[in-house]
Structure 1
Amino acid sequence: MNWYIHVLKNYAVFSGRARRTEYWMFTLISFLISIALGVIDGMTGAGESAGLLGSLYGLAVLIPSIAVTVRRLHDTGRSGWWCLIVLIPILGWIALLVFCVLDSNSDENEYGANPKLATA
């Protein structure tokens, strides 16, 4: 849960680097919250109106999600502009997934020091 809170505290920080753990824990917790909100929407009948709670949550975490993705790309040595690769149908999502799964650069790059070494 600390990783999730950390990303929310740095909701508009697009500089620096994010470890895989930070990115994937935020993604996992966001996914679980979305499922829970979808269930609540379905039980209350709000699911018929496009899931109000899920939509509000998605809007609330949109900027933190983009920011942590940009920082994750920085950790692999790529520019944050690589986020736009998702505009390519299917292949773009696969490419971004591969970039986010890759290990970080082992030492300092143009985006900062390796966060693994800073916390180790």
Structure 2
Amino acid sequence: MNLEQAVRTVLSKYADFSGRARRSEFWFWELAVIIASIIGGIIDAIIGAQIFQIIIGLGTLIPSLAVGARRLHDIDKSGWWQLIGIIPIVGWIILIVWWATDGKPDNQYGPNPKGAATA
């Protein structure tokens, strides 16, 4: 999956917290959000107001939570584990490790999104 496919997939599943997401889908989405935030920050600096970053942040909040939950589903964890990110430093480290972990074979959240070849 490339950047464009990942963004299209995440936006098409805007608030879909069910199913599973591959690592490439999650990390390309995160990259796209960072790029959009940087561009928004540059535009905000030019106009002297913080409008675009707020719009980008609000517009990507729900799909980011949804793809994060689907990514955790891929390693057979509940999407509610994202709340561990409330714990400073340690929570984020745990989440990053989980988000970077390879998916499990078919589980309670659905079939392996990589297909039967790697299951």
RMSD over aligned Cα atoms? 1.4
Runs of 4+ in 1 over 6 A off after TM superposition: none
SS of alignment partner, residue 8 of structure 2 = helix
Deviation string, structure 1 residues 12-49 (Cα, Å, up to 9, x no partner): 11010000000000000110011001001001111xxx
Gaps of at least 5 residues in structure 2 are none
- The answer as to 2:115 corresponding to 1:117 is yes
TM-score, structure 2 normalization: 0.92
Find the counterpart in structure 2 of residue 103 from structure 1. Answer: 102
- Give, in angstroms, the shift of residue 118 of structure 1: 6.3
- Give, in angstroms, the shift of residue 119 of structure 1: 9.2
Task: Report how many aligned residue pairs link the two structures.
Answer: 115
TM-score, structure 1 normalization: 0.92
> Percentage identity across aligned positions?
49
Matches within 5 A, 1:83-102: 83-102=82-101
- Tell me the distance in 2 between the aligned counterparts of 1:54 and 1:113: 36
Q: 1:4 aligns with which of 7, 17, 25?
A: 7
Gaps of at least 5 residues in structure 1 are none
SS of alignment partner, residue 61 of structure 1 = helix
